[in-house]
Amino acid sequence: MFKVSNLSASIGDKSILEDINIEMAKGEVLLVTGHNGSGKSTLLHTIMGRADISAQGKINLHNLELTELECHDRAQQGVFMFHQTPPTIDGVNTMTLFKEIHKAQKLTSSTGELIKEAKYLFAWASLPAGWEKRAFNQGASGGERKKNELAQAVLLKGNTTLLLLDEPDSGLEQSSRQKIIDLINDTVVNQGYVLLVTHDKELQERYSNNKLELSNGRRV
């Protein structure tokens, strides 16, 4: 079970979330909706453990209290965050970062197998040739950043228990949006949990049967 109890969050002196409660069974997708500024992205970042967010309440994943863990520790417990605006990391080679992720997640494949799989995923995601040699997202378009994050998510999907998707479809063509749907379906089949924030009407309709609507940081 994934359970959020009485969760409030603030950044500096600004309160953003107040008294949020969520309870999900394995294999569920929760659509998070609300107007801009309602707290949707902050909710996902709070669950992920972003360092500048002060949180009160409990976030429980399979009887593990996440609020006691740092962001990287939550990642090792199977939490993956798909950012609305994926960051760039100057001076860090993309493949080098994938190798560090591979090591941190204690994946069983060899380095050679990782390189082969990563190159396959970059091509599968329609990223430019030689993507693995570039600095991480350096000079990339918004769509390319999303595709790079999609490649990371697919690489780690066997280790992902909780998938946090913050507008994963923005800037992507229809074929890539289908890959997002496939990723959600794989997580569901593997008995994981998905929180989805999206403005895409098709995705909203697809997952509208289980919805959390926010307004001014509170559940409607």
- pLDDT tens-digit readout, 28-43: 999 999 999 999 999 9
Q: What is the pLDDT confidence band of residue 90, given thresholds at 50, 70 and 90?
A: confident
Domain assignment present for 208: yes
Domain assignment present for 159: yes
Exposure class string for 52-74: b at 16+ Cβ within 10 A, else e: ebebebebebeeeebbebeeeeb
Q: Are 34 and 216 in contact (CB under 8 A)?
A: no
Domain assignment present for 132: yes
Residue 62's pLDDT is what?
94
Question: For residue 161, what are the domain limits?
Answer: 2-182+193-219
Domain assignment present for 187: no
pLDDT above 90 for 97:
no
**What pairing do the DSSP bridges indicate for beta strands 79-82 and 89-93?**
unpaired
Q: Are 145 and 101 in contact (CB under 8 A)?
A: no
pLDDT above 90 for 166:
yes
Domain assignment present for 160: yes
Phi, psi dihedrals of residue 159, rounded to the nearest 5°: -105, 0
Stronger pLDDT, 99 or 108, i.e. the higher one: 99
Q: pLDDT by residue (tens digit) across 1-56?
A: 999 999 999 999 999 999 999 999 999 999 999 999 999 999 999 999 999 999 99
Domain with residue 30: its CATH number is 3.40.50.300
First vs last C-alpha separation in the chain: 23
Residue 186's pLDDT is what?
94
pLDDT above 90 for 82:
yes
Domain assignment present for 106: yes
**What pairing do the DSSP bridges indicate for beta strands 79-82 and 29-33?**
unpaired
Exposure class string for 111-143: b at 16+ Cβ within 10 A, else e: eeebbebbbebbeebebeeebbebbbbeebeeb
Pairwise CA distance, residues 136 & 150, whole Å = 14
Q: Which two tokens stand for residue 168?
A: 């994963």
Judge if pTM exceeds 0.85: yes
Residue 171's pLDDT is what?
81
pLDDT above 90 for 174:
no
Residue 109's pLDDT is what?
81
Domain assignment present for 71: yes
Q: pLDDT by residue (tens digit) across 187-212?
A: 999 999 999 999 989 899 999 999 99
**What pairing do the DSSP bridges indicate for beta strands 218-219 and 211-215?**
antiparallel
Average pLDDT over every residue of 89-110: 85
Q: Which two tokens stand for residue 59?
A: 């976030």
Pairwise CA distance, residues 35 & 66, whole Å = 27
Domain assignment present for 92: yes
Work out how many domains the chain is built from and give that number. 1
pLDDT above 90 for 158:
no
Average pLDDT over every residue of 175-189: 92
